[in-house]
Structure 1
Amino acid sequence: MEILQNMKLLAELIQCGGSIFTWCYNEEGALLGSNCPDEAFLSGVFELFGCKEQMLAYGTVHDTPLTLGTALGVLWSAAFEKEDGQLKRTWVIGPVFYQDVSMRAIEQGLRYYSRLETSVSWAMHLQKILAKVPVVQNTILHRYTLMVHYCLTGEHLCVSDINSETLPQVSDSPQLPAHDRHKVWMAEQGLLEMVRTGDLNYKQALSNSMTLSAGVPVHSDDALRQSKISVIVFTSLVCRAAIEGGLSPEEAYALGDSYIQAAESAKTLDDLNPLSLMMYDDFIRRVHKCRTNPKLSRPVQQCVDYIEMHLDQKIRASDLAPVVGYTEYYLTHKFKAETGLCINDYIKFAKIERAKVLLKSTDQTVQEIAASLCFSTRNYFSRVFLAVTGQTPIQYREG
């Protein structure tokens, strides 16, 4: 009875430091109680991710406390109450994060547990609950754990006595297999090519690349530092691509330096997260501006920009005329006089340029690329591609 009273008091004291919950399990792993409002769901998470099984297996043999973790960055700690050398109850603290973790990192961690075949609604509910889980430094979690152990046994231990061998090691964390790494490289090349060409229709490509990689895989206990490294590396790559696209080195390097300094000055992940998108958009718009043909009148340049932004649609001269307020007849003659191409040929060339990027930077099939650029058939797409480039799409991809 004294242990239960001591643990009740200790649980209240721990809660004074934040929403850090305590749990009690019997020797068979049945939950006896907790002070967590999401008890049913989080106890299921604890079991589903294998933490309860590890806890019981360890506690049956050992007396010292244990730290348990997952690929999501969620931690628990456990201390064991024994009677005549036999496990009687296990007391658990958690869950907590040991560092700030983004929702994207949680989503990536869930892929590591794809074998569990959880539902989408379950994963969404988990993310909602984990958003409320506190961040607690390892040293503080360890102190709480040692206090629990003392209440249960009267024994003073050191932090080094806490077993952390069951925590996921770097090799256990989600890694992209080799072929997926190639996909990341392909996506990166596509993003950089869009900078070189000043392609304003970049948002879908940028979104797709973020689902493949969360950034530079630097393993660090400092999530903010890791994110800063990713932003700085990405900025450096984009800066060089912009120079290749025609932006002056003076302007490109000055702009890149300003974004790198902004990344270094960020105090939180919330300050840092918007920077990559802002930087990428800024560079693309500057390259687009410097590549804009000064010989084109504003209405024709508007048509060119409209075409670039709607390559995934069927575009006709009749669609462009209302954009600039001209009749279709007048626009077609003015467009050809200024560009040297009729509108239909310009649209074909623009679509083939986008197809070249997709062939080199994605693993989409020729059929998928043709459909995404609104060609009526794969054969027609291949004929146009051959006429423009002198190669078939397959030859271009393999070249």
Structure 2
Amino acid sequence: MMTLEDQEGMQYICKLIFEAYQTPVFVLDSSRGIVHQLPLSLEGRPLTPDFGEMLKEITDPIDSASPIDLAVVATTPIPIIRTTHSLENFIILPLTSGHQTAGTIVVGPSLYEPLTESKAANLLRDNNIPLGLQEQWQHYYRNLTVLTRTRLYHAAMLLYTLVTGQTLSITELLLDARTSKPKQQPVGSPDLNVSFRRENIWLHHEPMQEQDLFRHIQNGNKAELLRTHATFSEEKYGLLSKKSHLRSKKNLAVASITLATRAAIGGGLFWEIAYTLSDFHIQHIEELRDVPAVENAVLDALCDFADQVKDTRTTMLSRTAAVCQNYIFNHLYEELSLDKLAEVAGLNGSYLSQLFKKETGIAVSDYIQRERIEEAKRLMEYSGVTLSDIATRLHFNDQSYFTKVFKKYTGTTPRQFRN
């Protein structure tokens, strides 16, 4: 394993990691002072502008009750992935000499995804950041490198291999992360709780009842969904919060909507519609302030999923045609071609074209045009979006061609439709 004494080799590794991921890299000594960093100049985060102080905080034991076992680290210096309350991600690799930590390599901070202004504002509110500092924090977030979870894991594995000369699988990385952290056990005993519920005949609903409910969503049958929902008894619902009945109901609602989302996708609903619908209903439920409103909202959500499945055009199609329709739906704002769809479906373009028309009754190119016109109709609901902007965004060559295609599928011009 490489040590701090090999300064040239250590700097070379840091340079490789920095250039590959464009994420700051630090080498710390045994006292956790910075001995090398890339880039040389860095803008610190608000409240902790000194990177040295921030890194001491980051490299503290992951949990005060679980200091890093040096004997374990000495033999298996597996990188640690640490995420802060502010959602910054760091890779921490202890460097050992004998049975002592001789230093540490830290890669970060980075983010899993870009933070929109609204998401950043919500995060800062959750962390009680004063309003006067929010602009500084948002500026800080905008300057952080985005590394998806997979890329961050691969960066950790690459760092490990460069330092130790050994391979590390993603399974080993994640298993080590799980076993090195203390288990936070829930308070109480599930076995005792089961005994109590059986003794008092206070049982959860039967699984078949739940399966029937979500089967009706998958089939798009709202009437049967409502009939099955009416058979659920209040006392048979689980308790998902000990401190708040409202929170318990919201948690149950989130679980129900999550299962309904999967059932709707199984019923043929485009997954992007299903997930967006899920987000929409859960966000709405989180804003509610009383139990009856939550109960009404979750039933509305389940019915919404059933209606969407009933209306979808993919339910009776083969998997190949459904995959193509789903891809077209998600990529309407991009260039779409038969060759690209053939690549997605894993079929010859000519064969896919025949299969698609046979199952849908419409050619691929016509289907794409029709879906773009449907999207154009949705965009026209917003007065701030011009017709020329809509035509450009949906890849119509010019305004006159857009008008021609629009009239073909609607019988009116775009201007007449909007008016």
Per the TM superposition, whether the score is higher than 0.5 is no
Give TM-score, length-normalised by structure 1: 0.41
* Greater gyration radius: 1
Give TM-score, length-normalised by structure 2: 0.39
Point out the structure with the larger helix share.
1
Greater relative CO (CA pairs within 8 A, separation 6+): 1
